[in-house]
A and B are shown apart, each in its own frame.
Chain A
């Protein structure tokens, strides 16, 4: 057998194949285990009831039934305690709808500023990205404390808006999700800004000059040249943003607590899955719910990419 292999190996073409395959082998194996195998096992698990210790009990579609009942209950207005998944889903969708567009837009604007050749350009490049180097946990903490009833934000707003009553952002169910969204935007825009900055710098200067000669002022240039030419990057940022936003866990856990804060205002799908797996000890249900989450992420990014992205490969 070995002699067969070595004669196979003689041909240079086959040498290349062996080399290529071996180079990617580790990556592929790891990917298979931690990605595909895990997903498949999770899918398998979603048909069982288990408590981590004993045997797994086959329950068919019961776990999925639990999820769907939850959704129906929630849709008909049940309180959050009876329909946590629905609450989490509703919240995360609202959250994503707020965060992704704003963070993308802000990242473009920041990149545009950082791209200007003005004094302190270095300062911008560093300071705009700095928030992104912080952990989401820290970010969450900073903001809890800025958002406290007697915190800085209320203090500043009181000075700017006349007659402003301090909002208890953390404990007021109407504002908690918004506060979390603001925190997320602060923390991630810088990261995407760098991608946009790089893309902007790849736009040849002469195109802007041609536009200048054709009669376009700075704002027109931004909307007619910069943004259209950033399109592939915009698609990438939105897709990555969607993936990240839909599975947001850290901020909610820190700012709203494992139970999602007042009335579950800060409850997210990721939080629910965590509770399902570790608090309520129903890993089967957790697996089912995580497949739901996966389906949502996959569908939204696929649809978006299909509609707006041209071949990125």
Chain B
């Protein structure tokens, strides 16, 4: 069983807390993404799992083995953890050929020469590197080097793969191609993989589950659908999805017609089940943060359910960005601005007014102080 468990893991560099009380359980064979902005602690977490850093507090398990526990004085060095890592810069040995690079870990473990040859060629075949075996890293393109780095990791048949932003040095097109290839490869090999990235698109397309981290604190762990549709807090809601979720300050009011989200300039009526939740949790009359994704805003022309005053509002168009497949529209009501992703055939023009429909089913309400999601 190649699970990886982090239990109450802390990492401090002097006074600076890089990772705060992280609890994470990665399942066997799972493709887990550690996602977050630069400096959020995701790479530090990865390095602690690798054994390149020691946690300040807490326990780390790889497989069934306890590999790190500073309080008990346990620390298993990287080479004994049966893990392999692909670095952001690939870290290929520049003075060795591709063949030697891939063979190196096996050579160190004193695997017999024939066995080494067999495995290296297998891996090269799998990754399309057979022609390049005699070349040196400096003669290879970025994509080729990356595959060599992968090869070096795969050839050892480790329990766990660790990847630190392996695609970030590739050009956009190659990145898209490699995303699919990596995912396919992981399925094929079935090895537990932990993958660090700051790119939420990568996370969404590749991960079985995503762990969103910010400033050393784990924000949410869930499948791509879960973190997209049910963000646990403002940070997750805003980090995932592009263009980003709109966040507006509002207050919850109730009248004889129902429960409303009041923005000052206008208000929107919440659905009955949403109203129930807010009543129960005592949010009536309180200030909240309202969130809605641009793709859940519609040009009234293309909306089906439109009730003026309840889910529709007239807004002024400030800027239109034509992406071809959709139109990103920057809208304004009074002093309130937000962004919508309209249908490609919407005819809105800058300076004009348009009726905007909110898909109330997709509304998110967050507590103003804790920024945690209510729904």
Contact = CB atoms under 8 A, between A and B. Distances in A.
Direct contact of A and B (CB under 8 A): yes
Contacts of A220: 108
Given A204-B91, A206-B89, A206-B91, A216 B108 contact: yes
Interface string B77-88: 111000111011
Interface residues of A, number: 18
A216 B93 contact: no
Nearest to B104: A214
Interface stretch (A89-97, A125-133, A182-190, A223-231): A223-231
B282 to A, nearest CB: 52
B109 A210 contact: no
B91 A231 contact: no
A223 to B, nearest CB: 12
Nearest to A220: B108
> Which label, helix, strand, loop or mixed, suits the secondary structure of the A interface?
helix
Contacts of B50: 213
Given A204-B89, A206-B87, A210-B85, A215 B109 contact: yes
A51 interface: no
A225 B88 CA distance: 19
A214 B79 CA distance: 6
Contacts of A204: 89, 91
Nearest to A227: B95
A45 B51 CA distance: 69
B94 interface: yes
A216 B79 contact: yes
Nearest to A214: B105
Contacts of B108: 214-216, 220
A214 B94 CA distance: 15
A212 interface: yes
Interface string B93-111: 1111000000011001100
A209 B91 contact: yes
Interface residues on B, range: 20 to 34
A200 B83 CA distance: 27
B152 interface: yes
A207 interface: yes
B93 A207 contact: yes
B52 interface: yes
B78 A213 contact: yes
B109 A207 contact: no
B83 A213 contact: yes
A207 to B, nearest CB: 5
A271 B85 CA distance: 59
Contact of B79 (A215, A229, A231): A215
A220 B108 CA distance: 9
A249 to B, nearest CB: 38
A43 to B, nearest CB: 42
B45 to A, nearest CB: 16
A229 B95 CA distance: 7
A274 B101 CA distance: 53
A207 B95 CA distance: 11
Contacts of A229: 94-95
A215 to B, nearest CB: 4
Given A213-B85, A214-B108, A214-B152, A225 B78 contact: no
A231 B105 contact: no
Given A212-B52, A214-B108, A215-B108, A207 B78 contact: no
Of A212, A213, A216, A229, chain B has the most CB atoms within 10 Å of the CB of A213
A309 B125 CA distance: 34
A73 to B, nearest CB: 48
A211 B91 CA distance: 9
Contact of B91 (A210, A215, A224): A210
A228 B109 CA distance: 20
A207 B137 CA distance: 13
Nearest to B105: A214
A224 B108 CA distance: 10
A217 B78 CA distance: 10
A72 B78 CA distance: 63
A311 to B, nearest CB: 13
Nearest to B86: A210
A209 B87 contact: yes
A238 to B, nearest CB: 18
A158 to B, nearest CB: 44
B163 to A, nearest CB: 12
Contacts of A212: 51-52, 77-79
A216 B93 CA distance: 13
Contacts of B94: 207, 229
A229 B94 CA distance: 8
Interface of B: 50-52, 77-79, 83-85, 87-89, 91-96, 104-105, 108-109, 152, 156
5 contacts: A212-B78, A214-B104, A214-B105, A215-B79, A216-B108
* Among all A-B residue pairs, the 10 with the closest Cβ atoms: A214-B105, A215-B79, A210-B91, A206-B91, A215-B108, A228-B95, A213-B78, A206-B87, A207-B91, A212-B78
Given A207-B91, A209-B91, 10 more contacts: A207-B92, A210-B91, A210-B92, A212-B52, A212-B78, A213-B78, A214-B79, A215-B108, A217-B79, A231-B95
